[in-house]
Amino acid sequence: MAIQTLDRTAKQVVLTVQDYSIFAWRSLMNLFRPPVYWSDFLMQSDIIGVGSISIVLLSGFFTGAVLALQSAATLSAFGATGVTGRFVSLTMIRELGAVLTGIMVSGRNASSMASELGSMVVTEQIDAMRALGVDPLRKLVTPRIYATISMLFFLTIVADAFGILGGAAVTVFLNHQNGTQYFSMAWESLFFRDIAQGLVKPLFFGYIIASIGCFYGMKTTGGTQGVGRSTIQAVVTSSVLIIVADFLITHVMLSFWPS
């Protein structure tokens, strides 16, 4: 009995991975064959990009601030509080800016995509769209994927910038250190490899968020309860995959540009 359950689960996992791979690949490739729904791309960019800016801005600012608070306490033991700017900027740009923005956008948009598409599936709107001769993958999924990739790139830059500003606010107003020193340390310690690492990651994270959100939405079964289940699965899976992908990308990029 246990072996049967294990066998069934293993098959289910393999099938899901196979379905996801086909789904994600087709959605990505749709950009290179007409029709391409540019107006839907712009609309989704507005919903995902402009709609997420406040949460990204706030989370970036306070993450930078808390990094400055924590690091100053440790660095003061070595008499190195002057390098707080370097610590905050490198941490934000190489890691936290991209990962935090990815997780925040995942919570907001992967859930919204899964629930929106899931509701359309259970009310037969997706079938109606196919019956009317329109490919839902092209119309609904591809614009969301490209909008998330491009918007996450810019949102990460915003999070990085506000993170450094948050660190500066704490350094100047709470730790009473020199702001010019903070910014010059933050600037001088940055190299191309750091910026590249920080800006390559959101491209992958954006793809993960949108493809997972849409995949679970389009695979919804079981009515409104199923929509709730898809939403949870989309957020959990995309958040975990972002962290796993972050490790893999960091590992690969460090092998190209060792610190």
Partner 1 sequence: MSLSLLTEFEPLKDTMPVVEMRHVTISFDGPPVLNDISFRVAPNETRILLGPAGVGKSVMLKLINGLLKPDNGDVLLFGDQISVMPEEELLALRARTGMVFQEGALFDSLTVRDNVGYQLIEEKKLTNEEIDAKVQESLRFVGLEETFLLFPSSLSGGMRRRVAIARALINKPELLLYDSPTGGLDPVTSTNIISLIVKQRDVNRTPSLLVTHRLQDAFTMCTHRFDEEKGEMVPMPKGETDPNTTFMMLNDGQLIFDGSLHELLHSENPFVKEFLE
Residues interacting with partner 1, by CB under 8 A? 120, 123-125, 127-135, 139
Query: Cβ closer to partner 1: 125 or 189?
Result: 125
Residue 90's identity, in one-letter code, is L
Query: Cβ closer to partner 1: 136 or 198?
Result: 136
Query: Cβ closer to partner 1: 12 or 74?
Result: 12
Please report how close the Cβ of residue 123 comes to partner 1 at its closest, in angstroms.
6
**Can you spell out the DSSP letters for the chain?**
-HHHHHHHHHHHHHHHHHHHHHHHHHHHHGGGSS---HHHHHHHHIIIIIHHHHHHHHHHHHHHHHHHHHHHHHHHTTT-GGGHHHHHHHHIIIIIHHHHHHHHHIIIIIHHHHHHHHHHHHTTHHHHHHHTT--HIIIIIHHHHHHHHHHHHHHHHHHHHHHHHHHHHIIIIIS---HHHHHHHHHHT--HHHHHHHHHHHHHHHHHHHHHHHHHHHT--SHHHHHHHHHHHHHHHHHHHHHHHHHHHHHHHHHHS--
Please report how close the Cβ of residue 132 comes to partner 1 at its closest, in angstroms.
5
Query: Cβ closer to partner 1: 127 or 188?
Result: 127
Both structure tokens of 211: 């493809």
Query: Cβ closer to partner 1: 42 or 254?
Result: 42
Query: Cβ closer to partner 1: 47 or 67?
Result: 47
Please report how close the Cβ of residue 159 comes to partner 1 at its closest, in angstroms.
30
Please report how close the Cβ of residue 114 comes to partner 1 at its closest, in angstroms.
16
Q: Which residues contact 32 (CB under 8 A, 6 or more apart)?
A: none
Q: Is the dihedral of CA 119, 122, 124, 127 positive or negative?
A: positive
Please report how close the Cβ of residue 225 comes to partner 1 at its closest, in angstroms.
18
Please report how close the Cβ of residue 94 comes to partner 1 at its closest, in angstroms.
40
Query: Cβ closer to partner 1: 133 or 258?
Result: 133
Please report how close the Cβ of residue 133 comes to partner 1 at its closest, in angstroms.
3
Q: Is the dihedral of CA 116, 120, 122, 127 positive or negative?
A: negative
